[in-house]
Amino acid sequence: MKRIVLSFALALVMLGTAAVQAQEYKLKPTEQPKESKSTTRLEKQHKPSRFLKEHLKQTEESILQSLQAGNVGSPRSAIQTLRDLEQMFPEYPFVALLAPLENTLKDEKADSVSRRLAALALDELHSDAGDAVIQEVASACDDKGLQTLCQALLVKSSNK
């Protein structure tokens, strides 16, 4: 439980830091950088650091543990945290979470909200394996809401 709380606190700190940094360096639409060197310096400053990659890996591991815990609220919040991290760090692959998300989506005994969140998270990972599982659930699912969601995700991904 401590790890789950710690991972969520870490995720919130990272979200807050990113928001503060985005506000600090946000230019007005009419402003242009004064020198090309200043833009280069900002790009270097915002590249993923080793520290950030290590913390993302630790957060990924704690989300994995939360998904495997089996508590009702734990998978919901873990998947939502994952979705937030996917939005903030689209370049990070979150590969270790593919299998647990697939299991959550396929598990008919799982909470319906967790299954829907897992479908959205798999779609946001942009993986062929995730798309295959979404396709499978869209074709053979008893939950009509989940089936409709998966079909919509497939239509959205085919339009890209």
- Is 80 exceeded by the pLDDT of residue 106? yes
Rounded distance between C-alpha atoms, residue 64 and residue 43, angstroms: 31
pLDDT, residue 49, reads 73
Tokens 């280069």 label which residue? 40
Q: Convert the pLDDT of each residue in 49-80 to its tens digit.
A: 778 888 888 999 989 888 887 666 678 888 99
Cα end-to-end distance, the chain, whole Å: 40
Q: Which residue has the higher pLDDT, 85 or 36?
A: 85
Name the class of domain 2-158. Answer: mainly alpha
CB atoms within 10 A of CB 130: 22
DSSP string, 30-77: T---S-HHHHHHHHHHHSPPHHHHHHHHHHHHHHHHHHHH--SHHHHH
Q: Convert the pLDDT of each residue in 1-32 to its tens digit.
A: 667 766 766 666 676 666 656 555 554 445 55
Burial class (CB within 10 angstroms; exposed 0-12, middle 13-18, buried 19+) of 133: buried
Query: pLDDT-derived band of residue 102, with 50, 70 and 90 as boundaries?
Result: very high
Supply the pTM of this predicted model.
0.67
**Tokens found for residue 52:** 């950030």
Query: pLDDT-derived band of residue 38, with 50, 70 and 90 as boundaries?
Result: very low
Orientation angle between helical segments 50-69 and 98-106, nearest 10 degrees: 30
pLDDT, residue 92, reads 86
In this prediction, residues 35-47 reach a mean pLDDT of 50
- The residue ranges of every structural domain in the chain are 2-158
pLDDT, residue 51, reads 80
**Tokens found for residue 1:** 């439980």
Average pLDDT of the chain, as a whole number = 79
Residue type, 34: K
